[in-house]
Chain A
């Protein structure tokens, strides 16, 4: 790990094919800056992504990376981290990827509390398939597959995380660059599963949850001196408040014990002997 890493070292030379103005640009920039700022470099970083616009992130960043299948990025990230505790793992997903097809994995990744960072680019729509309702779409949001709206309430990912026993829950807004970076940075530095839901507007298909909407409605918890992220009850109140949109760190368990500490998973598993282990015949003798 070199100390002179710049965030541009995490940039690949591939030009993103995201739509001009897409919120994902800001989300990714903040992730790269946060990684550099926390002392990581591309050779000790593993980025995992799922499917959708968010899934393209591994191509536009430079690091060890895997672009996986829809909804399954979190298990891949956990496998990487368990086998290689020395590697910084960041998982990127979208609202469809993470809260629909991957919702089951989300719950279990949260409760395992593996020391990694999960950034969800939440634009409240399916963009890459050209504008269908996502799990976070409003119940009256009209789309090609839901002409009268989904008619079901949106998933509250923060509440889902809280209910699953999350040790770090945050939300940011991709165009509030500095705050977004700070929040992701805090998630990286957290000992355990750092979850950040990022409002990352889709300028092509979502004309409701727009930059203007978030700018006008977003309440920053940092400006609320009363909010203590270590206070579970306060976090619950903010997270379950459906009248407002918040950014900031909602909840942070100061006593979080990450998976590798709890289960003693601390070895670099990539190194193995050249033959069977020295005491391997003991494995056979067990069957006498």
Chain B
């Protein structure tokens, strides 16, 4: 066993749990091992239980499971919180010198390491987590040099002294276990020659934005979207761009709107309550046909809900939010790699169709780090399509008899020409009011109908011209079909392996587009049983699919605030397959 190792560090918020976990994850990644991380955290700065979990394997891992092999517990609560995931072979590293006496079940291996005093020997108590990492390396026979590399990356900027102290702390932890324990655990971590990159969904969105030519970002801090802004800050400037922390979400989206209207590729990102605030201006963005990417990193709602917990509850908001009827595209990446590619696609769609694009991610994806081959993000593959942006010469084709630019010209494909400020003869106004081809207010019945039709014709054009496809895996001939959107894909892929052991075959469809979306009617009709998996209580995506296919579907909904785990999902799918279809 032990190729697939589940490791965690837990303690109080403020204990440096996050950076400790990240350092170990990076060390594993440097060793050519796959990594998938997850976080338990509370909505507070200091205190309160927090944990960083790593699943690692030589094979690709893309989900969390209900098992914990090595636990670095800085508090008793860390042990209590994870008791149901610990098992007989689990090892728990703790500091017996601290004020609490660890209450560890007898069957597990308790590894008492004087973390604090060893850290002090190395140069400071703050490094006790690094001592623990050294101990963890020893327990898993993991070459501590990989840890050294991660420490260099992490602390290199702070000077060689800090780096050396940290390396020493790790060595002391390693030696202590070597000298004081004769462990009979089978946790040998193999390494490979693979070079991986390790990043989370929000970093992938930020990187995608830069690759796509995003130059302006305005946002207001909110969990879990803020790290997109943090990523762009300090990097976007290298490309001549700028990040503004606005006074609120209303301002953020309006600033982004202004930048977009002046020709920049612009984005804002928020979550939960922030999307509500942006909804006012969302209507203006759509009505004025401004290309804008609005990212919603979903968290658990409603209102302030559970800000640090997972949910996919904003689908209806993205689809229907705002008064009146107005088209928008809703793109929903299903993996961290897709967070990158779909962000680029979102910018292209926004400009090609002059329409707001909701890029809908979720908390689980945003805080999860995962390993990828660098070529997964091959920048040579990035294509930029700015749509019908007209220059000085092309403007002439779009002037009316009086020489006025028809910025909202009624065209066959529904997309009008777009002139940005500075373009001679392109001056025009745009408004949230219903308008004529020139962008001027109108209440004329014919013009109203023409403009509404024009805006929806863009959607028809996009449906024809773009590939609104889904991803499929599992057994394409299987009788039973599971459909999912968002971050559940990884857990589903792994759940398939568990189900195969029980001879259950499934066809799985993962959908990265909510609007427009692929028509799954045929797939649904062809299947004996259809189950829709999503992290919300009511099954918002299932509702849509039922509507499309006019049939009742089974649903698996999780709304505890925690993402799906592969083994848990496999079990639920098995149960669901034998259950009755819900009554009409």
Which chain A residues have a beta carbon within 8 Å of chain B's beta carbons?
Answer: 13-14, 42-48, 58-59, 62-69, 72, 74-84, 86-87, 104-105, 107-108, 263-265, 267, 269-270, 272-277, 280-281, 283-285, 287-288
Q: Does B207 contact A (CB under 8 A)?
A: yes
Residue of A nearest to B198 (CB): A287
Contact of A43 with B240 in the complex, beta carbons under 8 Å = no
B250, B263, B283, B427: the one within 8 Å of A62 (CB) = B427
B491 at the interface (CB under 8 A from A): no
Is B432 on the interface with A (CB-CB < 8 A)? yes
Are the C-beta atoms of A78 and B258 separated by less than 8 Å?
yes
Q: A63-B427, A275-B380 are in contact. Are A285 and B242 (CB under 8 A)?
A: no
Interface-lining segment among B211-219, B301-309, B360-368, B542-550: B211-219
A83 touches B259 (CB 8 A): yes
Given contacts A66-B430, A288-B197, contact A76 B255 (CB under 8 A): yes
Given that A66-B429, A67-B432 are known contacts, is A275 also in contact with B384, CB under 8 Å in the complex? yes
Across-interface contacts of B240 in A (CB, < 8 A): 267, 269
A273: chain B residues at CB < 8 Å are: 213, 384
Complex contacts, A42 vs chain B, CB 8 Å: 427
Rounded to whole angstroms, the CA-CA distance of A199 and B564 in the bound complex is 61
Q: Which residues of A contact B255 (CB under 8 A)?
A: 75-76, 78-79, 82
* Structural contact, A43 and B425, CB atoms closer than 8 A: yes
Given A67-B430, A75-B258, A270-B262, answer yes or no on A285-B421 (Cβ-Cβ < 8 Å): no
Question: Who on chain B is nearest to A84 by CB?
Answer: B262
18 contacts between A and B (CB under 8 A): A43-B421, A72-B250, A75-B252, A77-B258, A82-B216, A83-B262, A84-B422, A104-B251, A107-B247, A108-B246, A108-B247, A269-B241, A269-B259, A269-B265, A283-B235, A283-B377, A284-B207, A288-B196
For residue A17, give the distance in angstroms from its CB to the closest CB of chain B.
9
Is B535 on the interface with A (CB-CB < 8 A)? no
Contact A283 B207, beta carbon cutoff 8 Å: yes
Specify which chain A residues have a CB less than 8 angstroms from the CB of B235 in the assembled complex: 283
Whether the Cβ atoms of B210 and A277 lie closer than 8 Å is: yes
B207 touches A275 (CB 8 A): no
A276 to B424, CA, bound (A): 29
User: Is there contact, CB below 8 Å, between B377 and A284?
Assistant: yes
Chain B residues, Cβ within 8 Å of A84: 262-264, 421-422
Contact A275 B382 (CB under 8 A): yes
Q: How far is the CB of A66 from chain B (nearest CB, A)?
A: 5
Asked if B218 contacts A67 (CB within 8 A), the reply is no
Most B CB atoms within 10 A — which of A43, A45, A105?
A43
Q: Which of A59, A83, A287 contacts B263 (CB 8 A)?
A: A83
Mark contacts of B244-286 with chain A using CB atoms, 8 A cut-off: 1 yes-contact digit, 0 otherwise: 1011101110111111111111100000000000001101100
B262: which of A69, A79, A275, A276 is its contact (CB, 8 Å)? A79
Q: Is B427 in contact with A43, judged by CB distance below 8 angstroms?
A: yes
Q: Inside 8 A of B237's CB, which chain A residues have their CB? A: 264
Shortest 6 CB-CB contacts between residues of A and residues of B: A79-B258, A270-B263, A272-B213, A267-B240, A75-B254, A79-B255
- Cβ–Cβ < 8 Å partners of A105 in chain B: 247, 250-251
Which A residues lie within 8 Å of B383 (CB)?
275
Chain A residues with CB under 8 A of B207:
283-284
Contacts A65-B430, A269-B240 given; indicate if A80 touches B262 (C-beta within 8 A): yes
Using A269-B216, A276-B211 as known contacts, list a sample of 9 further A-B pairs with CB atoms less than 8 Å apart, ordered by residue number in A: A64-B428, A66-B431, A69-B284, A72-B250, A72-B280, A78-B244, A272-B213, A277-B211, A284-B377
Residue of B nearest to A57 (CB): B429
Query: Given known contacts A68-B254, A76-B254, A277-B239, is B377 in contact with A82 (CB within 8 Å)?
Result: no
Question: What number of residue pairs across chains A and B have CB atoms under 8 A from each other?
Answer: 212
Pick from B195, B248, B260, B265: contact of A272, CB below 8 A.
Answer: B265
Q: How far is the CA of A223 from the CA of B260 in the complex (A)?
A: 44
**Within the assembled complex, what's the spacing in Å between the Cα atoms of A83 and B258?**
8
In the complex, which residues of chain B have a beta carbon less than 8 angstroms from the beta carbon of A13?
402
Residues in chain B near residue A80, CB distance under 8 A: 258-259, 261-262, 421
Whether A66 touches B402, Cβ cut-off 8 Å, given contacts A42-B427, A105-B247, A275-B383, is no
Provide the bound-state CA to CA distance between A280 and B374, in Å. Answer: 12
A79 partner, pick from B203, B256, B420, beta carbons under 8 A: B256
A78 to B218, CA, bound (A): 11
Chain A contacts for B211, CB-based, 8 A: 276-277, 280, 283
Q: B426 an interface residue at 8 Å Cβ cutoff?
A: yes
Residues of B close to A78: CB separation below 8 A: 244, 255, 258
Q: Is the CB of B431 within 8 A of A64?
A: no
CB atoms of B379 and A281 under 8 A apart: yes
Chain A residues, CB < 8 A from B213: 272-273, 277
In the complex, B192 has a CB within 8 A of chain A: no
A65 touches B428 (CB 8 A): yes
With a CB–CB cut-off of 8 A, which chain B residues contact A287? 197-199, 203
Give Cα distance in the complex from A79 to B431, angstroms. 16
Contact B429 A83, beta carbon cutoff 8 Å:
no
Q: Which residue in B247, B258, B377, B441 is a CB contact (below 8 Å) of A66?
A: B258
**B288 near A: Cβ within 8 Å?**
yes
Residue of chain A at shortest CB distance from B258 = A79
Alpha-carbon gap, A105 to B433, bound state (A): 22
A281 touches B374 (CB 8 A): yes
Q: Which residue of B lies closest to A274 (CB)?
A: B384
* Given A66-B430, A284-B377: A75 touches B421 (CB 8 Å cut-off): no
Shortest Cβ distance from B246 into A: residue: A75
When distances are taken between beta carbons in the complex, the residues of chain A under 8 Å from B199 are: 287
Q: Which residues of B contact A79 (CB under 8 A)?
A: 216, 218, 254-262, 266
Interface flag for B141 (CB, 8 Å): no
User: Could you tell me the distance in whole angstroms from the C-beta of A121 to the nearest C-beta in chain B?
Assistant: 18
The answer to whether the Cβ of B457 comes within 8 Å of any Cβ in the partner chain is no
Chain A residues whose CB sits within 8 angstroms of the CB of B428 once the complex forms: 64-65
Chain B min CB distance to A113 (Å): 13
Q: Give A74 to B423 CA distance when docked, in angstroms.
A: 23
The docked-state distance in angstroms from the alpha carbon of A201 to that of B242 is: 40
Once A14-B440, A66-B430, A67-B429 are accepted as A-B contacts, the answer to whether A43 and B259 lie under 8 Å apart by CB is no
